[in-house]
Amino acid sequence: MRKVSMTLMLAGLLLAASCANQPENANVSENQTEQQGPATEIEQVQQSKVQRVAFVPTESTPDFVDAAERSVDAVVHIMTKVVRQSTTYNDFFGALLGQLYGYPGQTRNNTMVAYGSGVVLTPDGYIVTNNHVVEGADEVEVTFNNKVKKTATIIGTDPTTDLALIKVEASDLEYLTFGDSDNVRIGEWVLAVGNPFNLTSTVTAGIVSAKARNLSILGEGTSVESFIQTDAAVNPGNSGGALVNTKGELVGINAAIASHTGSYEGYSFAIPSNIVRKVVDDLLLYGETQRGYLGIRYAELTAELAEKEGLEDIDGVYVAEVIEDGAAKIAGMKNGDVITAINGKKVNTGTQLMESVRQFRPGDKIDVEVNRDGHHHHYTLTLLNEAGNVDVVKKGESFFNSDLGLMLQPVNQNDMSRLNIKSGLKIVEIRQGRFMGSGITEGFVITKVNGNAVNSKTDLENALKNNRSRRTSMEGVYPNGMVVNFYFN
C-alpha cells in the first residue's frame, strides 16, 4: 500500500483467498481494548498480547448496558464466498492446443472468503449490510448471536450508498428499530456493534465526532456520501454492523475507517440511518433505489466565492446552474441562488444538501429555502428522476444513466439466446452524455462494461464505479449479430 497522509479503507472485509478446501476461519493475532476511564487493574498477558482492563464506574459514566443488550442479538456475522474458475495447462503443447482450439485444460475453483456484519431489521429475516460485504458473492451465510447459521439471499444492492439488503428464512428474530439520524448530535455517545476480526458480538463505545463527512470512496456520479464520523473502535469485519445511540436505536451502518495501517486509528464512519431506511424501503418495494434530483449544479460557498458574487454571508450552498426542465427551474429558482435549508433543515455544504435530498423519491415535494439578494424565499419543488420525470424505476424495467446519457433496457432471454449472449443492456435512446461521441447507435446491446457483465442498473453502476482508468471499455453486439469492442472517454 502506498503511504499517504491518511488512507481511507473500507472497514468491512476480513478477506482470505483460498482453494475450496482452505480453512475459512481467520486467526486473530492481536486484540487491544481502548481505555475509557480510571482503571483499577491492568493485567498484561505477554504471550497473546491481550490487555484486560477493569473500570470503576462513576456518576458521570454513561450506561451502555441496555443499548448493548438490545443490539447484540440483532447484529449478525456474515460470511460470503466468491467462486472463480481458472484454467491451467500442464505443458507447452497443452497450452498451445488450448489457444488454437479452445481445449479447456484443467479447471479448478478458487474460492474467495470474506467476512462482515449485518443488522436485522424485521422479525422475518430482512437484514441490511454494506454492498461491499456481499458484492459479487455466490454464497452468503449468516450466523446469529446464538450460533444458529442460515443461508441468505441477496434482495437488492445499491452501490451508490454502499448498502445491500439480504434475507434469511426465519421468524421471531431480534431486530433493531430506526432512530432519526438527523437528530444525532456531535458529542453524543454511540455504540458500534459488529464482528471485527471475526470476534462475534463485539460492542465498542465512542462519541459522534462529526456529521456529513464526504470521503470520496464510492466514486463520482450519483454516489451519496454523508457519513457520521465517530471514535468508536471499528475494524475489518465491522462493516455492515450497527451504530446505535444510548437508547439502542439504529442511527447508522458502519462502513469505513480512516487509517494508515488498515486497522482502527480513531476515525470510523457510518451511513446515516435516514438514508439506510429510504434505500431499504426502495429495495423492498421496487428492487432499485429511487433517486430524486433538484436539477441544479452547485458549488461550495466559500469566502472567495461570496466576495466574487457580492454575497454578504457564506451560509448555504451556491447554485451555479439551474438545469433546463429540472425541478428547480420549474419551481422558479435561478442561477446564483443560495440554498440555505431543505424542509426547514439547514444545509451549509453540498454533502448536507445531498443527504437531505436523497431521503426523498421522484414525485416527492420538498420545501427549499433560498437566499436571493439578501432576501429569503421558499420554493416547493417536485423532485424528478434522472430521466426528468416522476416515474418509478423498477428492477428489470428501462432506466436512464445520466453519466453516459443512455436510456437502457435489460435484454430478455429470447434475445439473449438469439444473439448467443449471457448478459446485456439494450440502448433504447442516446442523449447528451459521455457516450454520445462513441459512434454506437440505438439498438446496440452492451454486454460488458470495463470487463464486467451487465444485466441491470446496479451492474452498470458497479462497473462504472470500479473503473480506475480514465477511459471506459465496452463490449456488445448489434441486432444483426456483429460484435464490437470499443473505448471512450
Active-site residue list: 132, 162, 239
State the DSSP H helix or E strand holding residue 307, giving kind and residue range, or none if neither: helix 303-309
- Classify residue 323 as exposed, middle or buried by CB count within 10 Å of its CB (0-12, 13-18, 19+): middle
The phi and psi torsions of 428 (rounded to 5 degrees) equal: -90, -40
E strand or H helix that includes residue 350: helix 350-357
- Quote the CA–CA distance of 198 and 179 in Å, as a whole number: 27
Contact by Cβ (8 Å): 205, 189: yes
**Which residue in this structure is represented by grid cell 422479525?**
123
What is the grid cell recorded at 259? Answer: 487509517
Instruction: Please tell me the distance from the alpha carbon of residue 450 to that of residue 454, in angstroms, as a whole number.
Output: 10
Whole-angstrom distance, CA of residue 190 vs CA of residue 210: 12
For the record, the C-alpha cell of 301 comes out as 460557498
The amino acid sitting at 329 is K
Contact predicate 374/380, CB 8 Å: no
Q: How far apart are the C-alpha atoms of 290 and 100, rounded to whole Å? A: 48
Grid coordinates belonging to 406:
443512455
Q: CA–CA separation, 403 vs 243, rounded Å? A: 33
Identify which of 368, 163, 366 has the alpha carbon closest to the alpha carbon of residue 272.
Answer: 163
Q: Please, are residues 161 and 275 in contact by the beta-carbon 8 Å criterion?
A: yes
Task: Please say whether the beta carbons of 301 and 314 come within 8 A.
Answer: yes
Provide DSSP, 56-86.
Answer: ---TTS---HHHHHHHHTTEEEEEEEEEEEE
C-alpha cell recorded at residue 81: 464466498
User: How far apart are alpha carbons 264 and 462 in whole angstroms?
Assistant: 27
- Residues 226 and 213: beta-carbon distance below 8 Å: yes
Q: Quick count: other Cβ atoms within 10 Å of Cβ 286?
A: 16
Distance between CA 426 and CA 398 in Å, rounded?
A: 9
Residues sharing a CB contact under 8 Å with residue 218, sequence separation 6 or more, in sequence order: 159, 160, 161, 162, 224, 225, 465
Pairwise CA distance, residues 109 & 127, whole Å: 29
